[in-house]
């Protein structure tokens, strides 16, 4: 069900909205817009399911599923983006990137992001070599920022209803490539030029942890 909701995001956006409301030159969408549409669908589905169950085990399962997306998308993909940035800065300075240097950078970032709460396997420093996104040009940040934007959109839709839905469809989904993604999101009521979408997403993360703690009691 979540896979269907995810994939309907860009498909519906392109086939039913931007393709019918934009000239051909602007009818397509960029990856960032697709990620936001997909993840917003998932967030809405999740919060619908949580609101329509009284089964504590089912609710705990759903909350755990939701919680997993925050560290894997918001935190880990940000760490990936920082790794890419550090590597690019080294190249731009004229220094050479070696496998040992890449391992050192990646290992240090894992220590920084995960802290003392877990024991890091020594081999984690080699993980960079198996992540295909690092062989593209700055892609992973779109996961973290897109997820924050999607959470903000879904929260606004759930709180404000029809006006928020109208802004989302007409201001964002119908836009295609007629404007950059940040402008399209502003049209939908989400300003990614500020930290608010990220802090709001983290606030939801904290609230979900509290809900899980209560269920555990």
CATH number for the domain spanning 166: value is 1.10.1370.20
| Domain presence at residue 172 | yes
183 vs 7 pLDDT, higher one: 183
CA distance 78 to 185: 20
Structure tokens at 42: 């998932």
What is the Cα 80 distance to its own chain's centre? 13
Nearest to 211 by CA among 91, 10, 50: 50
Count Cβ atoms within 10 A of the Cβ of residue 34 and give its class: 0-12 exposed, 13-18 middle, 19 or more buried: buried
Flag whether 82 is in a domain.
Answer: no
Catalytic residue among 7, 89, 104, 160: 7
Domain contains 197: yes
Whole-angstrom distance, CA of residue 125 vs CA of residue 105:
8
Alpha helices by DSSP H, the chain:
2-12, 19-21, 31-51, 56-69, 76-92, 99-114, 141-160, 162-166, 181-187, 196-216
- The pLDDT tens digits of the residues spanning 1-39 come to 988 988 887 777 776 778 788 888 888 878 888 889 999
**In-domain check, residue 170:** yes
CB-count exposure of residue 96 (10 Å: 0-12, 13-18, 19+): exposed
Segments forming the whole domain that contains residue 39: 2-76+142-216
Q: Is 58 a catalytic residue?
A: no
pLDDT in tens, 83-107: 999 999 999 999 999 999 999 999 9
pLDDT digits (tens, 9 = 90+) for 107-140: 999 999 998 888 999 999 999 999 998 988 788 9
Domains held by the chain: number = 1
Would you say residue 27 lies in a domain?
yes
In a domain, 166, yes or no: yes
Torsion-angle region of residue 122: left (phi > 0), alpha (psi -120 to 50) or beta?
alpha
């Amino acid at each position: 069900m979540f896979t269907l909701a995810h994939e309907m995001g860009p498909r519906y956006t392109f086939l039913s909205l931007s393709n019918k409301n934009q000239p051909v030159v602007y009818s397509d969408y960029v990856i960032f817009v697709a990620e936001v549409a997909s993840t917003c669908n998932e967030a809405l589905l999740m919060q619908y399911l949580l609101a329509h169950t009284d089964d504590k085990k089912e609710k705990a399962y759903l909350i755990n599923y939701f919680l997993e997306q925050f560290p894997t998308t918001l935190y880990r993909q940000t760490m990936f983006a920082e790794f890419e940035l550090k590597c690019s800065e080294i190249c731009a300075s004229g220094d050479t990137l070696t496998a040992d240097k890449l391992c050192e950078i990646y290992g240090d970032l894992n220590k920084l992001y995960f802290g003392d709460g877990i024991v890091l396997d020594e081999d984690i420093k080699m993980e960079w070599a198996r992540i295909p996104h690092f062989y593209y040009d700055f892609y992973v940040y779109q996961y973290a920022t897109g997820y924050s934007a999607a959470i903000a959109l879904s929260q606004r839709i759930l709180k404000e209803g029809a006006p928020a839905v109208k802004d989302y469809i007409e201001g964002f989904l119908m836009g295609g490539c007629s404007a950059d993604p940040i402008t399209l999101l502003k049209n939908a009521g989400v300003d990614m030029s500020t930290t608010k979408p990220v802090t709001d997403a983290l606030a939801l993360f904290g609230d979900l942890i509290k809900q899980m703690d209560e269920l555990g009691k």
